[in-house]
Amino acid sequence: MNGYLSGLLSNGTIQQTEVEVAVAAPSVNKITIAYGTETGNSKKLAVTFAAKAKKAGITAKVVSLDQYRLNDLPKEEYFFSLISTHGEGEPPAAARKFYDHIHNNGFKLEKLKYGVLALGDTSYPLFCTAGEQVDAQLEKLGGQRIIPIQKCDVDYEHDADSWFDLLLHRLSAPPTINEVAVAAAPVVIKKSVVKKIYNGSIVTNINLNDRGSNKQTHHIEIVANDEIDYLPGDALGVVPENVAALVDPIVELLGIDRHKTYHFRHEQMTAYDLLKKKLNIFFLPERVVAKYAQLVGQDIPPTKIGLLDLIKIYPLKNNNQFGQLIEILEPIAPRLYSIASSPEAHSGEVHLTVARDRFKVNDEWKYGLCSDFLTCLPSETAIDFYIHRNSQFRLPDDDKDIIMIGPGTGVAPFRSFIAHREAIGATGKSWLFFGDQHFVTDFLYQTEWQNWLETGALTQLTVAFSRDQSQKVYVQHKMMQHGQQLYEWLASGASLYVCGAKHPMSTDVEDTLMQLIEKFGNKTIEEAAQFVEQLRDEERYLKDVY
Ligand SMILES: Cc1cc2nc3c(=O)[nH]c(=O)nc-3n(C[C@H](O)[C@H](O)[C@H](O)COP(=O)(O)OP(=O)(O)OC[C@H]3O[C@@H](n4cnc5c(N)ncnc54)[C@H](O)[C@@H]3O)c2cc1C
Ligand SMILES: Cc1cc2nc3c(=O)[nH]c(=O)nc-3n(C[C@H](O)[C@H](O)[C@H](O)COP(=O)(O)O)c2cc1C
């Protein structure tokens, strides 16, 4: 019976609750928990699970997938992967090598017994895809799935815990007559937890840039009726709506009845509401364009394009095809914004720092969907949002020093950090590097930083305004100028935080960090790299870049 149920279980065709107690896995004393993470959630779970396993008498080796020795995989017996999904349904960068390895190599995993915990966000069109693919691929390579994949939404703790409890139960159930007793004591995985959606209202929405600036960066304050459960370092997730100026011409061009209702992923809505609030029509991914090409029976080059342009160039055969069009369209993906407030300092509120994204397409200026949506929201508008936890971007103990590199909107979490540290009376020193184009127009939250310098909540502020002199000056140049002091802070235990643009800012900052450690720490390049590695290991070099 065990064999039969294991078979069903391994092909993932039956519900966990049906089988969870009937399969008795052999007693196990060693497992590997390999995590692939971008924002630290999978890592946090891996560490918690390892501690739980230890209590249950099982030694768990915890390893990041980017550190995992791929040659060890065929030797593994019990291998559990905790992996999130990022980008457009992709594995996190740190898991890419592993992901490619299992997809591109035709080896056999005969010994492997495995399970996958997939972290994701149900608001994205491709929910937990990376985890699903790893789960399927390990099976293809011959691995035996001993627990069904558990897909978790952003409030993942409960589902993840239940999954791991069930796993421990399976691993520790001895294959003896005790099986009968075990079977009588079911471990029940409850229904997946749906993430908490807060209903808020805009109370402030102001442009922080002065007249004459090239930028438009808004400080947005949102109040919610509920207590908002977040920590400094977390981000807010929001699903924007499409603008009427885009929806109206689509309705007109398609010649559809805007009031007619349609079904889309468990919801019934009018054609207009679907186009306005649910469907990504702004900039379609290539995979949707490919499906559209099939729908209209035309050759369309693989490209990203807005729905309006698509239907103008390649019209639907008739307006009856609208129902089929809905089926191939995807929901609007959420966007994340670092939270710029602190629950200790701004009770019942979340603050954001949102740059209105402006770009040119064929000589025409366009705005990014969500940043345009948010920066244009008038006061008192209702807004739904959720919290995206970032376990990898947390403040250290109150008495520890922090160095924050946050040019542009990268400054947002550091406003949260300092407000928080002031509110709780933290004693550690703090040093902010801020940068933008011009001192006069782009010094985001200038008066707040100056006040915090006066009160001592902020110890030191170093600014770089790139376009106020003939030669461009960025935060990394200022880091080098203050290299001696910066190195001394790091050598005495400070944590270094970097937030803002991934490219080129965060890579330039990292290069400079290496150079200044080499120069002011009197080290070889290898020693400087080791120093940075140690900062990472001690969770004292933390990045939140996008
Ligand atoms: C963890 C995290 C924290 C973040 N924190 C912040 C923050 O604090 N503040 C902040 O401002 N941002 C932040 N961001 C970035 C933010 O989430 C959004 O990515 C950003 O606001 C742009 O989104 P958008 O919807 O406005 O633009 P989108 O509509 O998503 O467009 C993005 C880009 O896609 C291209 N594009 C879109 N449509 C077209 C088209 N029709 N034709 C050609 N090209 C097109 C353009 O290059 C455009 O710049 C964060 C991101 C992450 C992941
Ligand atoms: C930029 C970005 C893109 C994301 N894309 C997806 C996605 O396509 N599908 C999905 O299910 N989740 C997506 N997520 C949600 C994450 O998988 C989820 O927040 C998860 O808890 C992160 O776990 P980690 O911290 O271990 O990386 C995305 C998150 C971010 C920040």
For every residue of 270-322, DSSP letters joined together read EHHHIIIIIB--SSB-HHHHHHHHHHHT----S--B-HHHHHHHS--SSGGGH
Q: Is 338 in the pocket of ligand 2 (CB under 6 A)?
A: no
Question: Of all atoms in ligand 2, which is nearest to the CA of residue 43?
Answer: 26
Task: Name the least confident of 94-98, 178-182, 216-220.
Answer: 178-182
- Answer yes or no: is the C-beta of 340 below 6 A from any ligand 1 atom: no
Classify 144 as helix, strand or coil. strand
Residue 416 has pLDDT above 70, yes or no: yes
Please choose from 371, 436, 444, 502 the residue to mutate so as to test ligand 1's pocket, defined by most ligand atoms within 8 A of CB: 371
Ligand nearest to the CA of 156: 2
185 CB contacts (<8 Å, ≥6 apart)? 21
Q: Give Cα separations from 296 to 32, 300, 311 (angstroms).
A: 49, 10, 10
Task: Provide the percentage of residues in the chain whose pLDDT is more than 70.
Answer: 91
Is any atom of ligand 1 closer than 6 Å to the C-beta of 371?
Answer: yes
Query: How much is the pLDDT for 266?
Result: 87
Q: What is the torsion angle, in degrees rounded to the nearest 10, for the CA atoms of residue 454, residue 455, residue 458 and residue 460?
A: 30
User: Residue range 310-334: average pLDDT?
Assistant: 95
Q: Is the pLDDT of residue 70 over 60?
A: yes
**Average pLDDT of the chain?**
92
Q: How far is the CA of 287 from the centre of ligand 2 (A)?
A: 19
What confidence score (pLDDT) does residue 197 get?
96
Give the gyration radius of the chain's Cα atoms: 26
Output the pLDDT for position 191. Answer: 55
Ligand nearest to the CA of 127: 2
pLDDT tens sequence across 479-510: 999 999 999 999 999 999 999 999 999 999 99
Asked if residue 365 has its Cβ within 6 Å of ligand 1, the reply is: no
- Does any ligand 2 atom lie closer than 6 A to the CB of residue 222? no
- pLDDT of 181 > 70? The answer is no
Q: For 217-222, what is the mean pLDDT? A: 98
- 316 C-alpha vs ligand 2 centroid, how far in Å? 34
Residue 179: predicted pLDDT: 42
Q: Residue 175 pLDDT > 80, yes or no?
A: no
Structure tokens at 206: 């102001």
Please compute the mean of the pLDDT values over residues 52-72 and round it to a whole number: 96
- Among 45, 124, 133, 150, which residue has the most ligand 2 atoms within 8 Å of its CB, making it the best to mutate? 124
Summarize the confidence of residues 441-464 as an average pLDDT: 98
Question: How many whole angstroms from 531 Cα to the centroid of ligand 1?
Answer: 34
Report whether 232 contacts 389 (CB < 8 A): no
Question: What pLDDT score was predicted for residue 396?
Answer: 98
Ligand nearest to the CA of 502: 1
**Three-class secondary structure of residue 411 per DSSP:** helix
- Say which residue, 445 or 17, is predicted with more confidence: 445
Model pLDDT, residue 172: 82
Other beta carbons within 10 angstroms of residue 338's beta carbon come to: 29
* DSSP-derived 3-state class of residue 434: strand
Taking 50 as the threshold, does the pLDDT of residue 398 lie above it? yes
Give the rounded percent of residues in the chain with a pLDDT score beyond 90.
88
Q: Give the pLDDT of residue 183.
A: 36
Average pLDDT estimate for 462-469: 98
Ligand 2 pocket, residue 123 CB under 6 Å: no
Burial of 510 from C-beta contacts in 10 A (0-12 / 13-18 / 19+): middle
pLDDT at 20 over 50: no
pLDDT band at 192 (very low <50, low <70, confident <90, very high): low
230 lines ligand 2 (CB under 6 A): no
Confidence of residue 2 (pLDDT cuts 50, 70, 90): very low
Nearest residue (CA) to ligand 1, atom 5: 337
What's the CA-to-centroid distance between 120 and ligand 2, angstroms? 5
Q: What local confidence, expressed as pLDDT, does residue 106 receive? A: 83
Residue nearest to ligand 2 atom 16, measured at CA: 120
Q: Is 124 in the pocket of ligand 2 (CB under 6 A)?
A: yes
Q: How far apart are CA 464 and CA 303, in angstroms?
A: 38
Ligand 2 lined by 179 (C-beta under 6 Å): no
Sheet arrangement for strand 382-388: 335-338, 235-238, 382-388, 198-207, 217-224, 349-355
- And the tokens for 431? 């040093």
